[in-house]
A and B are shown apart, each in its own frame.
Chain A
Amino acid sequence: MIAKEYKSGVKPIWCPGCGHFAVLNAITKAFAALEQAPENAVLVSGIGCSSRLPAYINSYGFHGVHGRALPVAAGLKVARPDLNVIAMGGDGDGFSIGGNHFLHACRRNVDIVYVVMDNEVYGMTKGQASPTTPEHWEHSKLTPHGPEVRRFQPCAIALAAGASFIARGYSGDPNGLAHMLYEAVQHPGFAFIQVLSQCPTFCPEQVQWKKTVHPEDACTPDPVQAAAFLHADDGLAKGIFYRNPRPIWPVKHQAIKPANLRQGFEI
């Protein structure tokens, strides 16, 4: 199948110029490169503008509740390891309401991909600060002085929590993102991609990303090296930063006792 055949034909609700269109295109390109059978892929999302994406792809999808894409995806993958499961959503969904699941998904290392379309804002509720919003961003009525809260560092936190594949893409570079997705799907274990995906409606200043996002060839299997890089990072580096496969969950056990559910009750 060619890339555009992976689109469902349902018209996206996104604003003109939204970065999520590019993410949608990158997913279809990656699927084409992977020769993905559409019926064997499941896109799982939470709530938010970006979480509407599964309906736009010609595959199975699950559009759940706010913040819980990762648990749905993990349950599905453990139950159905034959499927290609990709969880996705926005920065509010993934790092705020779903922040705890993000940490534990990194630890658990179920073999899924997690794509966070990070536009540093709650778009669907019309422009409130998210965990990745700059500290002094004063454009939300909810936080007129700016959030005045230190920004969440998704990639550094993913590393600390145990993610085995960490990358950052940019909606201005859909081909580069498609390549990252391709690699992430191939990676055995939990693969996290933060995508800088601009919101022209609430954060028009993100148009600057065109000039400020910079590719970095920093990929390492060494967590110490990756940590040093990510702590020095300005948040605008683009590339695969860390890649180090480790045992996935569920771990396969050799000796499973024979099924005899009733034996333990017998006197």
Chain B
Amino acid sequence: MKPGGWFDRRGWSDIIVGVPYAWAIVFILAPICIVTALSFAVPVLNSPPYQFVHTWPFVSIASFQRLFTDSIYIRSFSVSLFNASIATVLCLLIGYPMALGLTRVSKAANRVLLMLIVLPFWTSFLLRVYAWIGLMGNNSWFNRLLTVLYNILVPQAWHLANIQIMYTNFAVIFVVVYSYLPFMILPLYANLEKLDRTLDEAAMDLGSRPYQVFLDVTLPLSMPGIIAGGLLVFIPSAGELVIPSLVGNMSDPMIGAIISQEFGLNHDWPMAAAISVALLFVLVVPLMAYTRYQSRAEAGGAP
């Protein structure tokens, strides 16, 4: 094929490539470069509040040193990664049976049920969080239900009038799972739907029990869906800013709140930049490694 593809008249193809390219360089690449550069600067009382070191090696790793020594940052990093991991596992445990169920219903039911999974995504994210705030409060029906369940399970001596759900880490995980569940179900469903059902039948015919068929056939084959859904849940929930600010325990903040606080409240741009770079490393580098591994596996593993 011609080097410019089918659209080979110079002027036009240059515009079609050039305009979005320029936009992406100025508004996507430049901000990332700025954050990376600023993470090696030092904070000063000026406007803008940072400065680069004027002597060799011109970079300061003071912000990164603080990141690894100050307990605030270590603590908030662990809280974020912990919450995101638990939320991802819970999304998988709830989403997997739902996605599997969606592949087993009639075509008409499937259409409606899939639409019901997507529908909340089109409504306001904030209002769905807001709806839970009402439900988790101490005198709502949901809280009373949980309290009754709790009181049935525990000995008389530990009975509670109501369970404190709001402003706890549990509330954050609960609402994060709720908000990101569709992101787990949809890639899982897309993957499970494509699986060859005859493999299940073959395993059954050869005497496998249903749970064995699931463990030996369905689960391994759905691994790409699990990983895709897992990443779609894990990455945004680790950097979540809105949900913890509304239902979380503010004295034990997640990393998103720390970044916004360092930047907005403390005017410590280099520190905010250093945390951002570290978060990017923790979240995006494994993702890139996975993508590379997958594309290599596809290239090498195809029969």
Same complex origin of A and B: no
